[in-house]
Structure 1
Amino acid sequence: MSHRPFVALDHRNFRLLWIGLLVSMTGSLMQNAAILWHVSLLVSPDRKGLALGLVGLVRVAPIVVFSMLSGVVADAWNRRKLMLLTQSAATMVALVLAILTFRGLAQVWPIYLLAALGSSAGAFDLPARQSLIPMLVPREHLPNAISLNSIMFQTASVIGPSLGGILIATSSVAWVYVVNAVSFLFVLAALLMMRGIPARQEAE
């Protein structure tokens, strides 16, 4: 067994997915921070606490509601195609947020609705992603792939909100949504560029 810290990245399909997810996850966490800022701008100071709490609720509720169903769907469907659907849906959410914001969005309910839709897509994306990763690396490199996946998320968790704050300060919150929409193109491209995933395993 290799003890190289990045050995799983030797495998092209995993490397593509890892890079794509690093970019898209960074964009998603930029957007998460931007949504909180956006909501805080649209509500009165006395309602700010409740309004921000509702952001957390609409993000968590779909994950709870769809938790069992999403696992069943990920087991039954082609995981790569399922991720293409969920990532495309998340792209559309970011684009609609950007368009509404550029047009002067003045109410918070569309933000709540779109955040819930994005979280619903994420509820199906996570089990599909977790099921796909073991198909991209040999069994002996799977622990390394899981570790690198965790590193990717932690890195995005640090970089994403920071970049989001910088972009809000230098331009506007709408451009954070645009950047997030673009970031999803990286993981979509990665999924489309994958080759050699066993058809039986991919769909079983």
Structure 2
Amino acid sequence: MQRIAQDWLVLTLTGSASAVGITIALQFLPMLLFGLYGGVLADRLPKRPLLLATQSAMGLTGVALAVLTLSGQVEVWHVYLTAFLLGLVTVVDNPARQTFVSELVGPAQLSNAVSLNSANFQSARLIGPAVAGVLITAVGSGYAFLFNGVSFLAPIVALLLIRPAELHRSERAPRGKGQLREGLRYVSAHPELIWPIVLIGFVGTFGFNFPIWLTAFVHEVYDSGAETYGLLNTLMAAGSLAGALLAARRGTSRLRFLVGAALLFGVLEVLAALAPGFWLFALLMVLVGMVGLTVNVTANSSVQTATDPAVRGRVMSLFMMVFVGGAPLGGPLFGWLTDAYGPRVSLAAGGVISFLAAAAVGLLLARAGGLRLRVDLRRGHKHLAFVPRQREPRPSRKPLTTAA
């Protein structure tokens, strides 16, 4: 609800998609600057008390923005400031929350738990935009901010009710020097971690600028208001929820599935940019939400399951840093692109870049695994498939003979 109200409030105050992009950039800039340090804290400190502190602070930002808006004193710089403060808290909250899942269920059920956690998150996204759209239209953005601030009582109470003795605690990293470099060295030594993180970085930076694109499509292309913006976000969240539930049914996360989903994600964004009518655009955004969430969940679970618990906080902070930390680059860039060339060109550009990044990572993974792409256009055969490279046999050396 706060995200919808925040984006719409900035657009109302300024009339500029670039201003929405700046808000997004400020919210995610701390993740880009300090994200890895948040992972060090998540590995070093007990996660349940840490989450109690971060969730309380996030609730206070919502209440503060509500007071400013309801009193009629809100200005754009207030929104910028609260977005930046929220980003600072998220630096610690994100890796702590991601890795706390493994303490709740243990390693055997981690992949399913990550997917179900995403499904739970998407359920909130399904309800929030619809309620926010109604509230903004009926009574203004201030009450959406207020409800968001009060809603943090739910996770705070849930954390207090958890029985610590039943948690699957992982060994905490001791305080010491070089822990940041240790986490980076660990990732660099494991290709199964590097390439999903690289791919999610490109998709997150260039393909997930939906606050900019949806506000611009509603405002410029369809000449509508907050109700339509809330509807589109709800439809995307419905697709994301379906994607999360489908991901939860898969017990394992394979890298080839991740690459395929990212390729499809890029194609769907380009098709949505070219959609001639509103309802076709809305339908495609449902599919974009479904496939985009599948990319996120598959990359998240594959990285978590392949990481040693002692460094999981630092690895997941790097994952989140490249996924959401690219927003300070992507937000202003696509905000400017939207203002200069229109939302259709901007959305299509994001889809093309996501597709090319997925294709490049897929080829690199295939090469690292000793595979090559086989093209077979015969009927009844699989047209595209990766098959093992055939090594050419070395020519045998014939023994030298002497003339008689």
Do both proteins adopt the same fold according to a TM-score greater than 0.5, normalized to the shorter chain? yes
Q: Look up the match of 1:32.
A: 3
Alpha-carbon distance in 2 for matches of 1:200, 1:139: 9
Q: Look up the match of 1:176.
A: 144
Alpha-carbon distance in 2 for matches of 1:76, 1:138: 19
Moved over 3 A (4+): 196-200
Q: Look up the match of 1:88.
A: 56
Q: 1:199: Cα distance to partner? A: 8.1
Q: Look up the match of 1:121.
A: 89
CA contact (8 A) 2:104 2:168 kept: no
Q: Percent identity?
A: 37
Post-superposition CA distance 1:88-116 (Å, at most 9, x none):
11011011101111111242101100011
Residue 76 (structure 1) aligned to one of 23, 44, 48:
44
Q: 1:203: Cα distance to partner? A: 7.5
Q: Aligned pair 1:100/2:71, yes or no?
A: no
Q: 1:59: Cα distance to partner? A: 1.5
Post-superposition CA distance 1:136-193 (Å, at most 9, x none):
1143222221110121222233322222111111222110011101110000000011
One-letter code aligned to 2:73: L
Change (3 A) 1:197 1:113: farther
Q: Aligned pair 1:49/2:21, yes or no?
A: no
CA contact (8 A) 2:52 2:156 kept: yes
Change (3 A) 1:139 1:53: closer
Name stretches of at least 5 consecutive residues in structure 1 with no aligned partner. Answer: 1-29
Q: Secondary structure at the match of 1:104?
A: coil
CA contact (8 A) 2:106 2:168 kept: no
CA contact (8 A) 1:94 1:181 kept: yes
Larger fraction in helix: 1
Specify which structure has the bigger relative contact order, considering alpha-carbon pairs within 8 angstroms and separated by 6 or more residues: 1
Alpha-carbon distance in 2 for matches of 1:151, 1:199: 22
Q: Aligned pair 1:59/2:27, yes or no?
A: yes
State the TM-score, normalizing by the size of structure 1.
0.78
Alpha-carbon distance in 2 for matches of 1:198, 1:106: 45
CA contact (8 A) 1:78 1:202 kept: no
Name stretches of at least 5 consecutive residues in structure 2 with no aligned partner. Answer: 173-404
Alpha-carbon distance in 2 for matches of 1:175, 1:96: 12
Post-superposition CA distance 1:116-140 (Å, at most 9, x none):
1112212211110112111111432
Q: CA RMSD in A?
A: 1.9
State the TM-score, normalizing by the size of structure 2.
0.41
Change (3 A) 1:151 1:199: closer
CA contact (8 A) 1:167 1:173 kept: yes
Q: Secondary structure at the match of 2:75?
A: coil
